[in-house]
């Protein structure tokens, strides 16, 4: 099987995991990992993972199937950074969906779903580790399912949409208790979008990490 993965940024946290997946899957398939749609060579299967480009029907026609992974229980939670918004809403059980790419974002038929269950203490890197493991598992599921199973259309629930997050969404309020803002602290990307607050005429960045077993 000829497989392409399009991930727009090599600095995205999932990129090293995709590189490893390519090495493993490459033992049985012809796999390419590219950063721009202009680099796509066509084939049997296209994965769009953290892709920021518009992939048209003409682009997708070069592949047998084009699939996306989205961390919400579609049609609920279409849009940007769904797992982050859901954690901020207080959710601990987040559905991760494997679906077909369509012109209208996050509207495609569902191939498979998995659950990411959080305990409420996980920080950004731990959340990513759980999410990325599920995403890679869904990619493996796709390899096993293509041509053998039919996807199911999204159900009739009214869709909801999340907006794109901006650096301003990582703002902390120094007047509010830490406990009320802990979820915002733990989902903030410490490198690309660190949590911050303004106080006494200065801006302060906030990054947290768990104490190790030997830390006092």
Residue 86: which residues within 8 A CB-CB, separation 6 or more?
A: 71, 72, 77, 94
Residue 88 lies in a domain: yes
Query: Could you tell me if 176 and 124 lie in one domain?
Result: no
Kindly tell me the burial class for residue 206, based on how many C-beta atoms sit within 10 Å of its own C-beta (0-12, 13-18, 19 or more).
middle
* Local confidence band at 182 (pLDDT 50, 70, 90 cut-offs): very high
Mean pLDDT of 90-100: 97
Q: Write down the pLDDT at residue 216.
A: 60
Say if residue 132's pLDDT is above 80: yes
Please state, as a whole number, how many other Cβ atoms lie within 10 Å of the Cβ of residue 36.
Answer: 10
Residue 9: which residues within 8 A CB-CB, separation 6 or more?
A: 15, 35, 50, 52
CATH number of the domain that 128 lies in?
Answer: 3.40.50.170
The whole-angstrom separation of Cα 43 and Cα 57 is 15
Query: Could you tell me if 68 and 143 lie in one domain?
Result: yes
State the DSSP H helix or E strand holding residue 131, giving kind and residue range, or none if neither.
Answer: helix 124-145
pTM of the model: 0.93
Mean pLDDT of 179-183: 98
Query: Could you tell me if 135 and 189 lie in one domain?
Result: no
Which residue range forms the structural domain that includes residue 138? Answer: 2-162
To the nearest 10°, report the CA torsion of 4, 23, 138, 105. -30
Query: Could you tell me if 25 and 62 lie in one domain?
Result: yes
Percentage of the chain with pLDDT > 90?
A: 92
Query: Could you tell me if 95 and 121 lie in one domain?
Result: yes
Least confident of 42-46, 52-56, 63-67, 156-160: 52-56
Structure tokens at 46: 């296209």
Query: Could you tell me if 118 and 183 lie in one domain?
Result: no
* Local confidence band at 91 (pLDDT 50, 70, 90 cut-offs): very high
Say if residue 174's pLDDT is above 80: yes
Say if residue 123's pLDDT is above 80: yes
Q: Write down the pLDDT at residue 149.
A: 82
Mean pLDDT of 94-115: 97
Query: Could you tell me if 65 and 172 lie in one domain?
Result: no
Query: Could you tell me if 100 and 39 lie in one domain?
Result: yes
Percentage of the chain with pLDDT > 70?
A: 98
Domain count, the chain: 2
The string of pLDDT tens digits covering residues 188-216 is 999 889 999 999 999 999 999 999 756 66
Query: Could you tell me if 31 and 111 lie in one domain?
Result: yes
The string of pLDDT tens digits covering residues 7-61 is 999 999 999 999 999 999 999 999 999 999 999 999 999 999 999 999 999 999 9
Task: Bin 194: left if φ > 0, else alpha if -120 < ψ < 50, else beta.
Answer: beta
* Local confidence band at 79 (pLDDT 50, 70, 90 cut-offs): very high
Q: Write down the pLDDT at residue 214.
A: 61
Least confident of 27-36, 114-123, 162-171, 206-215: 206-215
Residue 89 lies in a domain: yes
The whole-angstrom separation of Cα 122 and Cα 29 is 35
């Amino acid at each position: 099987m000829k497989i392409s993965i399009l991930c727009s940024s090599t600095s995205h946290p999932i990129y090293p995991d995709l590189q490893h997946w390519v090495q493993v899957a490459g033992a049985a398939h012809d796999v390419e990992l590219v950063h721009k749609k202009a680099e796509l060579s066509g084939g049997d299967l296209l994965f769009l993972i953290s892709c920021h480009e518009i992939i048209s029907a003409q682009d997708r026609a070069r592949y047998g199937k084009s699939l996306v992974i989205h961390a919400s229980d579609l049609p609920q939670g279409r849009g940007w950074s769904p797992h982050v918004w859901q954690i901020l809403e207080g959710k601990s059980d987040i559905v991760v969906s494997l679906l077909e790419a369509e012109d209208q974002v996050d509207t495609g038929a569902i191939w498979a779903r998995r659950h990411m269950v959080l305990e409420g203490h996980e920080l950004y890197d731990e959340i990513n580790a759980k999410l990325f493991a599920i995403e890679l598992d869904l990619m493996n599921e796709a390899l096993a399912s293509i041509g053998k199973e039919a996807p199911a259309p999204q159900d009739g629930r009214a869709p909801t949409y999340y907006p794109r997050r901006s650096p301003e969404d990582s703002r902390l309020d120094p007047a509010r208790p830490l406990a009320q803002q802990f979820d915002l602290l733990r989902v903030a990307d410490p490198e690309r979008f660190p949590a911050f607050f303004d106080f006494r005429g200065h801006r302060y960045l906030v990054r947290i990490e768990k104490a190790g077993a030997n830390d006092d």
